[in-house]
Amino acid sequence: MTTEPSPEEIVADFAAKVGRVREEVARVIVGQRPIIDGVLTCLLAGGHALLEGVPGLGKTALVRALAAALDLRFSRIQFTPDLMPADILGTTMITDDEHGRRSFSFQPGPLFAHIVLADEINRTTPKTQSALLEAMQEHSITVAKITHSLEQPFFVLATQNPLEMEGTYPLPEAQLDRFFFKLHVEFPDHDELHAILDRTTGTQAPEVSPVLGRDDILQMRSTVRQVAVARHVQDFAVSLLEATHRDRPLATALVKRYVRFGASPRGAQACMTAARIRALFDGRFHAAIDDVREVAKAALRHRIILNFEGEAEGITSDQVLDEVLREVPSPG
């Protein structure tokens, strides 16, 4: 006879598993704790992450390490302008069976994996981007009128380089909205650089062992939904979202001046889900306002569309969100 674990046990188990993944990833990746947590949050929330940073900061290495720490199927797609949707989705081919009979069979593409690294997603054409984004949203692929479901967990980690914009196809706002988080990969500090050199230029290459399986992740995803959220915390998330809209009373000065469209309700959903996961990371049964504050920028920055004036003045959505977080009062 098995007894249902208590909330305390569930939360403790969750925190322990996350801790193990962090440890494994930390063997390869130096620092970047917010990015690791952000990626894990996306994975546990059932969303996808867009990593943005200049080349060489370890974006791909991070994803590889994470995939290695999780006992999941991993595939990497290097997006190029000549990449076609069929190249990533898969295609129907004529095959011969052992009796010499020919038939059409579907050959799955690299998207048929648990973790997909879509490297430099903005270098491919919108056509291919759309094919990927449909899979991200629907968790299924339709080829030759046949829909193929993607196995859960399906987690896409896309990267893009913000510097080289020539010959790129920036993701449309609607497609950016499909990403749960947009994470900025920051340049490592002095000590971290030393550690990176020590680990990568020596004779021993660090190895990552899988510590979490597919079932563990699915179980953790179900745990996330159980985290209690009080009304005032949800109020705060809603207020944050409203404050990004120029026509709402809570709109700040920067929003009123530079924002064309505020964040969509998906932004608030992302905030709340991420806040729950943060609470579990912290070993709590309830989400707090501070959790919402911590995840707000990653969840909302790619959902805010600046107007021409904002673009021209070099205003970033992070600046807008900083002001929003500063000025939106805590409820009560």
Partner 1 sequence: MSTTGPAATAGAEPEATPGPGEGSAALPALAAVGLRLRLQRSLERLCDFGAAGLSLAALALIAARLDATWPAEPVLLLGLALPAVGLLVGLLRPVPAQLAARSLDRAMATRDLATSACAFLDIEAGQRSRFMQATIDSARRHLARAEPAQVAPYRRPQRLLLCGGLATVCAALALFEPAPPESPKAPSPRAAPRRGALLHSDDLDAFRRDVDPIASQAQGDPETRALAQELNAIIEAMGEGRLDRAEAMRALRELQRKLEAERGEQEQAALREALAELGRSLDRPGETQEVADAFKSGQAARARESLETLAKELRDKKLSAAHAKQLQKLLERAAKTPEQGRQKELEQKRDELERLLKKKRKQAEASPQEKRLLKKRQRELERLQREAQEMARKNEARRKLDRLRRQLAEAARQLGQNNRQGGSEHLQQGAQQLQGPAGEQLSERQLQQLQQQLEQLRQLLSKQGGQGQQENDSQSKGSGAGKRPGGAGERLTLGRFAGLSRGKSGRPGSKGGEGGKPGESGEGEGEKGTLLMPGKGGKNGSESSLLLPGAQQSDRPGSMTALSPQSGAGEGGTSESGPKATQLDGKRVDTRVQGQQGKGPSRSEVIHESSRRGFASETYRKVHAEYGRHAQSVIERDEIPGGYRFYVRRYFQLIRPREAE
325 touches partner 1 by CB under 8 A? no
23 touches partner 1 by CB under 8 A? no
Smallest separation, CB 9 to partner 1 (Å)? 7
Smallest separation, CB 5 to partner 1 (Å)? 10
Residues contacting residue 266 through CB under 8 Å, at least 6 positions apart? 177, 303
CA angle 199, 200, 201 (to 5 degrees): 105
Q: How many CB atoms lie within 10 A of CB 272?
A: 23
285 touches partner 1 by CB under 8 A? yes
233 touches partner 1 by CB under 8 A? yes
Pick the stretch among 62-70, 95-103, 140-148, 227-235 that binds partner 1 (CB under 8 A): 227-235
Buried b / exposed e over 201-229, threshold 16 CB at 10 Å, is eeeeeeebeebbeeebbeebbebbeebeb
Applying CB under 8 A, what is the total number of residues that bind partner 1? 25
Pick the stretch among 4-12, 96-104, 190-198, 254-262 that binds partner 1 (CB under 8 A): 4-12
Amino acid at 279: A
Q: Please identify which residue in 77, 141, 254, 289 interacts with partner 1, judged by CB under 8 A.
A: 289
190 touches partner 1 by CB under 8 A? no
Which residues face 78 on adjacent strands? 119
Q: Please identify which residue in 290, 322, 323, 327 interacts with partner 1, judged by CB under 8 A.
A: 290
12 touches partner 1 by CB under 8 A? yes
- 38 exposure class (CB count in 10 Å sphere: 0-12, 13-18, 19+): buried
332 touches partner 1 by CB under 8 A? yes
Smallest separation, CB 291 to partner 1 (Å)? 8
Residue 189 — φ and ψ, nearest 5°? -85, -175
Q: Please identify which residue in 107, 213, 226, 253 interacts with partner 1, judged by CB under 8 A.
A: 226
Closest CA to 155 of 277, 37, 72, 271: 72
221 touches partner 1 by CB under 8 A? no
- Residue tagged 């673009």 (tokens): 311
- Residue tagged 């179900």 (tokens): 222
Nearest to partner 1 of 141, 271 (CB atom): 271
Q: Please identify which residue in 218, 284, 305, 319 interacts with partner 1, judged by CB under 8 A.
A: 284
Smallest separation, CB 296 to partner 1 (Å)? 15
162 touches partner 1 by CB under 8 A? no
- β 74-78/115-119 pair status: parallel
Number of H helices and number of E strands within the chain? 14, 15
Six-digit token pair at 52? 């943005």
216 touches partner 1 by CB under 8 A? no
**Which residues of the chain form contacts with partner 1 (CB under 8 A)?**
6-9, 11-12, 15, 226-228, 230-233, 282-291, 332
